[in-house]
Structure 1
Amino acid sequence: MKEPPTRDSVVAVDEEAERILASYPPDRLRGKADCLRRIRAALDEGVSAKDLTEAVKAYATESAGFTRSKVCFSDNWFNSARWRTHVEYIATNREQTKAVKAEMLAGLANWVTDRHPLCRHITPGQVDALLAAELVTQAQIQAAGHRS
């Protein structure tokens, strides 16, 4: 005769999915088991936990002033994959930020190579970033008047 399952084996806790769901506004939580299953599916699909958590927080902030009739409950939000638009927006912003940073570093590298008078305003952190990105050499930094 087969023994009944123990309580420990009945519910396997997915701590990562639980943390993500905990970011959802508590007054809009519904269908916890379904939400956790959908979150796990998204994570297994390759979405990072950090991005999904940021997406949940972004939706919570965006819908903070909405009445209950205008908000999306958690089970519907995860079921209809509304989180995807937020995750895509986060990824787009990340890429734009990288592009702006690269452009800024390129401009600073030009200052250093040209020994522009504004080089004195380059911070030590920016010098480190220029060296790490290999946009300038240590000799060029020294010639521009930074770090010996």
Structure 2
Amino acid sequence: MSYVVEAHCHERRFGSAVRKQIIMFLANKASDDGSGIWCSKGFVQRHTELSETSVKRTISEFLREGILVQTGQQRPCKNGFTVVYRIDMDVVAQLELIGAPARPPAQTGSSEDGVRPDPGTGSPEDGVRGPQGTPNNPKTTPKPPTRAQEPGEEDLGKIWDAYPEDRRRDRPTSLRLARDALSEATAAELLTAVKAYALHSAGHTRSKVSFSDNWFRLGKWRPFVEAARAEAHRPQEIAERQLSDAAKAIRERKDWMYRHLPEARVFQAVQRGLITREEAKAAGFLR
């Protein structure tokens, strides 16, 4: 058990509640340098009460992102062997910190008569101060979002324009459903998802694609948003290296390397010009 590693991971963002729960469980089993984690996936699944699929997927993501490292040592067990993992503290240190909420400024007032005019601050005569403000203080009550904070027609228009032209249908319904989707994703994320889908489905027959209204209604944008978030979550240095490695593996047709690449990473490599669309298609992606 290492409180050092736990505290290190506790202060970082890992992208989702499931990812945070699993990394905190593994950190609890690590030594102070992050090594010596003797936990099978089944053991993690039983103690976190998550699904086996979630545990396997998340640990695979951590390995790809460099957050977890397989040390190569093995411990025999009834199902074969247990892999020993190490949490890479340097990689974790590059993740985004969880910022503390800003503290409201201290309230002050006149003390000439021994009573402060602000509500709840108490009298200095008895040496006891009250709370800094009341629950309905207009300075602390959150204000409802304004129209300026809501996605505008310009954002929705860009999303509509990015959708493949031959599959656009029922613009009013599509835009209404797109606006509903913005309760789960930002306009930028949804625009990226549409562009990724357009690239992914280019060349597909009509029976293999979706019209815009159905695409938004059925939530087919969600996998693209989730993949983009996972890619964006990786530290920049690791992201650049993995993009470069992915492009090299595809160009050199190293099947054992590229056959398990996330399609979102391949799409990003195409967007960055590291490989061509034809090279990605030849490797079995973006068909």
Q: TM-score range by the shorter chain?
A: 0.5 to 0.7
Confirm or deny that 1:63 pairs with 2:206.
Answer: no
- 1:82 & 1:46 partners in 2: Cα distance? 13
Contact 2:167 2:211 in 1 (8 A): yes
The answer for the alignment partner of 1:15 in structure 2 is 154
Q: Choose from 185, 190, 194 the match for 1:52.
A: 190
Confirm or deny that 1:92 pairs with 2:230.
Answer: yes
The answer for the alignment partner of 2:179 in structure 1 is 40
Contact 2:169 2:213 in 1 (8 A): yes
| Structure 2: 5+ residue stretches without partners | 1-151, 240-287
- 1:89 & 1:52 partners in 2: Cα distance? 12
Matches within 5 A, 1:91-130: 91-98=229-236, 100=238
- 2:220 & 2:235 partners in 1: Cα distance? 24
- Per-residue CA deviation, residues 83-133 of structure 1 (Å, 9 max, x unaligned), is 0110000000111244726xxxxxxxxxxxxxxxxxxxxxxxxxxxxxxxx
The answer for the alignment partner of 1:113 in structure 2 is none
- 1:52 is displaced (CA, Å) by 0.6
- 1:48 is displaced (CA, Å) by 1.2
Q: TM-score, normalised by structure 1?
A: 0.55
Q: Percent identity?
A: 43
- 1:80 is displaced (CA, Å) by 0.3
- 2:208 & 2:220 partners in 1: Cα distance? 14
- Look at both structures and tell me which one has the larger radius of gyration over its CA atoms: 2
- 1:19 is displaced (CA, Å) by 1.1
Tell me which amino acid in the other structure corresponds to 2:163.
Y
- 1:41 & 1:99 partners in 2: Cα distance? 35
Greater relative contact order structure (CA < 8 Å, 6+ sep): 1
| Structure 1: 5+ residue stretches without partners | 1-12, 102-148
Structure 2 CA distance for partners of 1:34 and 1:89, relative to 1, 3 Å: same
- 1:35 is displaced (CA, Å) by 0.7
Tell me which amino acid in the other structure corresponds to 1:95.
H
- 2:153 & 2:205 partners in 1: Cα distance? 31
**Structure with the higher strand share, 1 or 2:** 2
Structure 2 CA distance for partners of 1:21 and 1:42, relative to 1, 3 Å: same
SS of the aligned residue for 1:69 comes to helix
- 2:160 & 2:223 partners in 1: Cα distance? 17
- 1:37 is displaced (CA, Å) by 0.3
Q: TM-score, normalised by structure 2?
A: 0.29
**Structure with the higher helix share, 1 or 2:** 1
Confirm or deny that 1:75 pairs with 2:213.
Answer: yes
The answer for the alignment partner of 1:28 in structure 2 is 167
SS of the aligned residue for 2:206 comes to coil
Aligned residues: 90
Tell me which amino acid in the other structure corresponds to 2:234.
Q
- 1:14 & 1:71 partners in 2: Cα distance? 26
